[in-house]
């Protein structure tokens, strides 16, 4: 069963984020706290949204998907960026990942989103194969760019604070 996450799912969501980070060999980078996730997912202005996959027999939480809206200047429409898709190892192969992705695709269509995009690590062949089986197009011509930490602070320091526009979250 796939359902929208509730505030009561925050601890499980955080646990699955850490499990995913461990699988992706980057657990030290998964620093989000329950308080941060609660605010991001269920605050006054949510930054992201989540779905939960439950085992039909036991009702146990076996997976989740976290996403947020994006925008394409080319199409002039919103899209969906899938930040995390995770199914716990014991539940893999049971259709939960496909059900989460299908629910997200249906959300895209219902909301008029023209794009549903996410990243996958190049070494994660089992997941890439799964995505290919769904007809996913891998965009080899694009490279993900990230600016964080000290380089982000150094670049931002080049702008006088009075010149930084105020943007609503």
Give me the catalytic one of 23, 86, 113, 131: 131
Residues 4, 36: Cα–Cα separation, whole Å: 18
Residues 66, 80: Cα–Cα separation, whole Å: 10
In this structure, the dihedral spanned by the alpha carbons of residues 141, 146, 152 and 156, taken in order and rounded to 10 degrees, is 50
131 is annotated as an active-site residue: yes
The kind and range of the H/E element at 83 are strand 77-87
Contacts of 69 by beta carbon, 8 Å cutoff, 6+ apart: 78, 79, 80, 81, 113
CA distances 153 to 99, 117, 121, Å, are 40, 28, 26
The kind and range of the H/E element at 64 are strand 61-72
Q: Is the dihedral of CA 143, 87, 80, 44 positive or negative?
A: negative
Which residues are tagged catalytic?
A: 131
């Amino acid at each position: 069963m796939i359902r929208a996450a509730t505030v009561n799912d925050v601890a499980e969501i955080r646990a699955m984020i850490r499990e995913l980070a461990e699988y992706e060999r980057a657990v030290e980078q998964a620093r989000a706290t329950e308080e941060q996730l609660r605010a991001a997912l269920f605050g006054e202005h949510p930054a992201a949204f989540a779905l939960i996959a439950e085992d039909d027999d036991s009702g146990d939480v076996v997976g989740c998907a976290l996403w947020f809206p994006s925008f394409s200047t080319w199409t002039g429409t919103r899209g969906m960026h899938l930040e995390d898709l995770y199914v716990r190892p014991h539940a893999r192969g049971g259709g939960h990942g496909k059900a989460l992705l299908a629910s997200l695709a249906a959300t895209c269509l219902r909301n008029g989103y023209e794009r549903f995009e996410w990243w996958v690590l190049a070494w994660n062949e089992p997941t890439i194969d799964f995505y290919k089986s769904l007809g996913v197009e891998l965009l080899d011509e694009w490279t993900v760019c990230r600016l964080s930490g000290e380089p982000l602070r150094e670049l931002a320091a080049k702008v006088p604070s009075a010149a930084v526009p105020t943007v609503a979250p």
